[in-house]
A and B are shown apart, each in its own frame.
Chain A
Amino acid sequence: MADATLDQSLDHRAATVAARRHFLTRLVIYGLLVVFAAIYLIPLLVVVLNSFRDQQEIARNGLISLPRSFRLDAWGQAWSTYCIGGTCEGMQRNFYNSLKMTIPATIISTAVGAMNGYILSKWRFRGSEALFTCMLLGVFIPGQISLMPWAFILGNLGLSNSVYGLVLIHVIQGISFTTLFCRNYYVSIPDDLIKAARIDGAGFWRIFRKIILPLSSPILIVTVIWQFTGIWNEYLFGVVFTSGQQQPITAALVALTASGTNVRAYDVMSAAVLIGALPPLLIYLFGGKYFVRGLTQGAIK
C-alpha cells in the first residue's frame, strides 16, 4: 500500500519533470522562431513604415523608429513626380517597362519550356539526353559571359535600349531553366499514359493538350513564379542594355537611391523600393505555397 503510493508519487514526479522539459523545449523553439522572424520582418517593416513617414521626421529620429507622422505623399512622388537623372516622372514608366518585359518573357519562356520538357521526357529520341544536358549548361553560364555577344546581337537587331531586347535575352536565358523544371516534372508522369493515348489515336499535340497540360499546373506555377520574380528582379542586363526611360524598375531604383541630393529622401525611396518589390511579393504571397511544393516535386532533383 505504502509502496504503491510511493510509486505513484514517483510516477507523478517523473511526469512533471517530463512536462517541464517539454515546456522548456517548446519555449526555446518558439523563442528562436520569434527572434528569426523579427530579423526577417524588421527590414520590411522599416521600409513600409518609412514610406508613410515625414521626411524631416525620419531625418530627426532615424530610419528605425516608431512613426510619429503619417503621410501618403511619398507614394505619389515615387510613382509619378520624383526626379531620377533629369526626368521627373517617378517610377511609373520604369514600372510599366518591367511589366512589358516580364510578362511576355515569362509567358514565352514558360510555354517553350513546357513544350521542350514534354518532348525531352515523353518523345525521347537518340541523343535527346545529350541535347538536354547541353541545354542545361545554359543554367550555369554567368550573365557576364554573354554581355558582349548580346550587345552585338541587340545592336544588329536594332533592339539596343529597348524593352524588347530584354525580352529576347530573358526568353533565351530562361529556356534552360524552364526546360529543366518541366522535364524533371514530366518525367514523373507515367509513360504508360502516353502509350495508352497513342493507342487511343492521340497524336503529339493532342496528348500534350489533353493529358500533359491538365497535369501541369504544379510545375507551371513554379515556372511562372520563378521566371516572373527572376526577370522582374534582374538588374545586370537592365542596367547594361537600357538607359533612362527604357530602364526596368531595378535599374531605376539603383539610379534613384544613388541620385545624391544632400538630403536623403528616405520616404520617397522607401515607397519606390516597395513599388519595385510589390509585384513579385504579391505573386509569391499568393503562389508561394504551390511554389515550394512544386519545386520539391520536380524542379530540384
Chain B
Amino acid sequence: MSTLTIRSLRKNFGAVEVLKGIDLEAQNGEFIALVGPSGCGKSTLLAMIAGLESVTSGEIRIDGRLVNSVAPKDRDIAMVFQSYALYPTMTVRENITFGMESRRVPKPQQDEAVKRVAAFLQIEPLLGRKPGQLSGGQRQRVAMGRALVRDPKLFLFDEPLSNLDAKLRVDMRTEIKKLHHRVGKTTVYVTHDQVEAMTLASRIAVMHQGEVQQFDEPATIYNRPANMFVAGFMGSPAMNFLPAELSEEGGRPAVALQTADGKTASLPIVQALPSDTPRQLILGIRPEHIYRFDPDLARRKPGIAQIDAVVELVEPTGAETMAVLRLSGKEITGRFDPDGTPGMGETVTLGIDMARACLFDPTTQRLI
C-alpha cells in the first residue's frame, strides 16, 4: 500500500522557476508516466520526489506522510537513472548490495536478496562482472536489479531506456511492463518518448515548461488532448492543425476550410459546441483520421467529411504510407493503406473523420 501525492510543487534554481505548481497523485500500484519535451522539468520533479533536490514550496507526500525534508534514504524509494549510474569500481553484486550494506542489512539476508533479484532478472551470470564489461541492455537490467532489491514503496525511473538502441528499447519496454505487473509497485516513469508513456502508463502527466498540461488516462490524453501542446506532442506523426472558421451547413455547425482550388469547403462538426465558441478555430485532425474518401464507409460511419487535396510527398514505411498533402494552404499528413497510396501530384478526395477531430481556441490554445 503506497501512494504519492504532490501539491502545488514549485522549484526555483536561483531566479529561474523550473516547476510552476505541480499537482499530481499516484494511487497504490499505479504506473504514472511523466512525459514532455527535454528541459520541461521532468527530471527535476523526479529528483524532488526522490529527495535529491530541495523543495522550494508545495508538498510531497508518500503514503500520506509529508516527506519534503526527509533524506532520500529515508523515503523508501528506488530509482533507475538514464545513465544507469552503476558504480564503476564495484561488481554487479556489489552494486546491488551497496544499498543494503549502507543500511547494515545482515550478510545472509543480502545474499538471499541478491539471489532472488538476479534470478528474477536473469542476471546471475553477470554478478561477478564490472559495469564496464556489460552491454547496454545488461547494464539496464543491473540498474533495475539495484532498484528492485530494495523492495521500496515507490519506483522512480528517469528515462531508463533512452540510451538503448531502438530494438532493445522495445524489448525492455515490454519487460518493464511485465515487471510492473508482477511486482505491482507504485511507479513514476519519466520519458520524453510518448510511445513509451502510452504503452506503459495507467495515467500520463504531460508536462511543458514546468507545468502539467494534462494528467489523465492514455486514451483520454490521446483522444481528447486538453490543449494544442498535448495534442501536438502525443502521437506520431503529430496531429494536423488547420486554421478554420465557424460556419453552418444545413443548419448544423460546421468549419469552413479553403480547398486547393480556392473554393471553400464546409466540414460538419459532430460534437456539441458551447455557446461562447469563437468564430476563428483551429481544427485538429490526427493523420490516421484522414483517408481516401470511400462512399461505402461514409454511408456506414457518420461524420466523415469530404474534401480535395493535392499530394505533395509520399513516404512509405512498409506497414503504412504517410502522405504530405496541401490543404487550406498548409501541409498536413495523412496515413494511408500501402495498397491505396495516392501518387505524388495527384489530387485526392479525402475523407476526414470529424467524429475524431478536435477543435481548439486559437487564443487560449485550449480544447473546445
Give chain A's interface residues, CB within 8 Å of chain B: 190, 192-193, 195-202, 206, 210-211, 214-215
Determine the distance from Cα of A200 to Cα of B101 in the docked complex, in whole angstroms: 9
Can you report 26 A-B residue pairs in the complex whose CB atoms are below 8 A from each other?
A190-B83, A192-B81, A192-B85, A193-B87, A195-B79, A196-B79, A196-B81, A196-B85, A196-B146, A197-B87, A197-B102, A198-B52, A198-B71, A199-B72, A199-B73, A199-B77, A199-B78, A199-B79, A200-B73, A200-B102, A201-B103, A202-B73, A210-B87, A214-B90, A215-B88, A215-B89
What is the size category of the interface that chain B forms with chain A? 20 to 34
Chain B's closest residue to A217 (CB) is: B89
Give chain B's interface residues, CB within 8 Å of chain A: 47, 50-52, 71-73, 77-79, 81-83, 85, 87-90, 98-99, 102-103, 146
Contacting residue for A199 out of B83, B87, B90, B99, CB 8 A: B99
Q: Is the CB of A190 within 8 A of B89?
A: no
The answer to whether residues A199 and B50 also contact, given A192-B81, A192-B83, A206-B102 and a CB cut-off of 8 A, is yes
Determine the distance from Cα of A190 to Cα of B131 in the docked complex, in whole angstroms: 14
Q: Which chain B residues border A206 with CB–CB below 8 Å?
A: 102
Determine the distance from Cα of A115 to Cα of B47 in the docked complex, in whole angstroms: 25
Determine the distance from Cα of A18 to Cα of B345 in the docked complex, in whole angstroms: 56
Most buried by B among A192, A197, A200: A200
The answer to whether residues A195 and B87 also contact, given A200-B98, A201-B99, A202-B98 and a CB cut-off of 8 A, is no
Chain B's closest residue to A206 (CB) is: B102
Q: Is the CB of B89 within 8 A of A214?
A: yes
Given A198-B73, A201-B73, 13 more contacts at CB 8 Å? A193-B88, A195-B47, A195-B72, A196-B146, A198-B52, A199-B52, A199-B79, A200-B73, A201-B99, A202-B102, A210-B98, A214-B90, A215-B88
Min CB distance, B211 to chain A, in Å?
Answer: 24
Q: Is the CB of A200 within 8 A of B99?
A: yes
Determine the distance from Cα of A202 to Cα of B103 in the docked complex, in whole angstroms: 8
Q: Which chain A residues border B50 with CB–CB below 8 Å?
A: 195, 199
Determine the distance from Cα of A199 to Cα of B52 in the docked complex, in whole angstroms: 8
| Ranked 4 nearest A-B pairs via Cβ | A200-B99, A201-B102, A201-B73, A192-B85
Q: Is the CB of A197 within 8 A of B98?
A: yes
Chain B's closest residue to A215 (CB) is: B89
Q: Which chain A residues border B52 with CB–CB below 8 Å?
A: 195, 198-199
Q: Which chain B residues border A195 with CB–CB below 8 Å?
A: 47, 50, 52, 72, 79, 81, 85
Determine the distance from Cα of A63 to Cα of B90 in the docked complex, in whole angstroms: 56
Determine the distance from Cα of A42 to Cα of B79 in the docked complex, in whole angstroms: 61
Q: Which chain B residues border A197 with CB–CB below 8 Å?
A: 87, 98, 102
Contacting residue for B89 out of A192, A199, A211, CB 8 A: A211
Chain B's closest residue to A199 (CB) is: B72
Q: Which chain B residues border A196 with CB–CB below 8 Å?
A: 79, 81, 85, 87, 146
Determine the distance from Cα of A197 to Cα of B81 in the docked complex, in whole angstroms: 12
Q: Which chain B residues border A201 with CB–CB below 8 Å?
A: 73, 99, 102-103
Min CB distance, B104 to chain A, in Å?
Answer: 9
Most buried by B among A202, A206, A214: A202
Q: Which chain B residues border A211 with CB–CB below 8 Å?
A: 87, 89
Chain A's closest residue to B79 (CB) is: A199
Contacting residue for B85 out of A190, A202, A210, A215, CB 8 A: A190
Q: Which chain A residues border B83 with CB–CB below 8 Å?
A: 190, 192
Q: Which chain B residues border A202 with CB–CB below 8 Å?
A: 73, 98, 102
Chain A's closest residue to B52 (CB) is: A195
Determine the distance from Cα of A215 to Cα of B86 in the docked complex, in whole angstroms: 13
